[in-house]
Structure 1
Amino acid sequence: MNRDDEHVKPAGEMERLETLEPELREALGNFKASVDAWSDAMMSRPREAKAPAKTNWSAITKWALGCVVFAGTVSGGLYQNHQQQEAAKVESARIAEQQQRAMDAAKLAKTDEEDLMAKVDSDIAREVPSALEPMASLMTEDDTQGN
């Protein structure tokens, strides 16, 4: 069975082809024949079933290992930075505590010094030393009795 027989051409198309110039009709016929031959050749050629593409596990493994190494490096750096910040906070707290202790000790020393100076002032301001106070109290009583 020929391809020309397969297609039944409408009456209008047949009239149009007959009205064309013979050279154009021959060129179109040759073109149609070559397209039909090419189509038949493509349909009758043997086809191969292609297997799906093979997965390159080596490249995937290398890529995944590289990602793991990169992630480990970045996370290690972040962890180390965090540890350094925490150590700096602890160190600054320790220094602040030492400074506070030093200020407290200085205040205590100043207070002790002021207390000592107050005691010295009170001891100097007494008319009678504290060891002789019992006798001084007797003397004041005697002075009032004698008058």
Structure 2
Amino acid sequence: MNLRDENAKVTGQAENLEMLEPELRAALGNFKASVDAWSDAMMSRPREMKAAAHTNWSAVTKWALGCVVFAGTLSGGVYQNYRQQEAQKVEAARMREQQREMAAAQVLKENEEDLMASVDSDVAREVPSALEPLATLMTEDESKGN
């Protein structure tokens, strides 16, 4: 808004004020006078100058140090818990690997025992299994000859 618009507005308000009833005009005038008087009284009263608040750096330092100690303790506990969990995971994986190796060794041992039993039975035979029919004929011939 420019200055001409403001002047026109004030002039329009003054004309509106003159059109109002005299009692209302008097009440508004008294109200304006009381607001002006109150404003002048508030502006002329003595004011107090408040000093800036003094910061107690000792308490602030103690509080900050306490927070640092608390945070360090908390983070140390969290880190130690994390390391224990990781160590447990590594130990569990090592145990599983060891159990797998033991199971594989047991299977290998059983296979070796079966193979050795088979070899022992083959070695213990007087005649190889392919020649058994002939061996039975020979034993029958020997029993007839006696």
Range of TM-score over shorter length: 0.5 to 0.7
Distance 2:113 2:103 in 1: 15
Out of 20, 43, 68, the position equivalent to 1:64 is 68
User: CA shift at 1:13, angstroms?
Assistant: 6.9
Query: 2:49 is paired with a residue of what secondary structure?
Result: coil
- What corresponds to 1:76 in structure 2? 80
User: CA shift at 1:72, angstroms?
Assistant: 0.9
Out of 30, 39, 45, the position equivalent to 2:47 is 45
Distance 1:27 1:50 in 2: 38
Distance 2:123 2:52 in 1: 109
Query: Are 1:103 and 2:107 counterparts?
Result: yes
User: CA shift at 1:97, angstroms?
Assistant: 0.9
Out of 75, 85, 89, the position equivalent to 1:85 is 89
Q: How many residues align?
A: 112
Structure 1, 44-53 or 96-105: larger mean CA deviation: 44-53
Highest CA radius of gyration, 1 or 2?
1
- What corresponds to 1:142 in structure 2? none
Distance 2:114 2:26 in 1: 127
Q: TM-score, normalised by structure 1?
A: 0.62
Out of 14, 34, 39, the position equivalent to 2:38 is 34
Query: Percent same amino acid among aligned pairs?
Result: 13
Query: 1:125 is paired with a residue of what secondary structure?
Result: coil
Out of 119, 124, 127, the position equivalent to 1:125 is 127
- What corresponds to 1:94 in structure 2? 98
Q: Which structure carries more relative contact order (alpha carbon 8 Å, separation 6+)?
A: 1
One-letter code aligned to 1:39: M
- What corresponds to 1:132 in structure 2? none
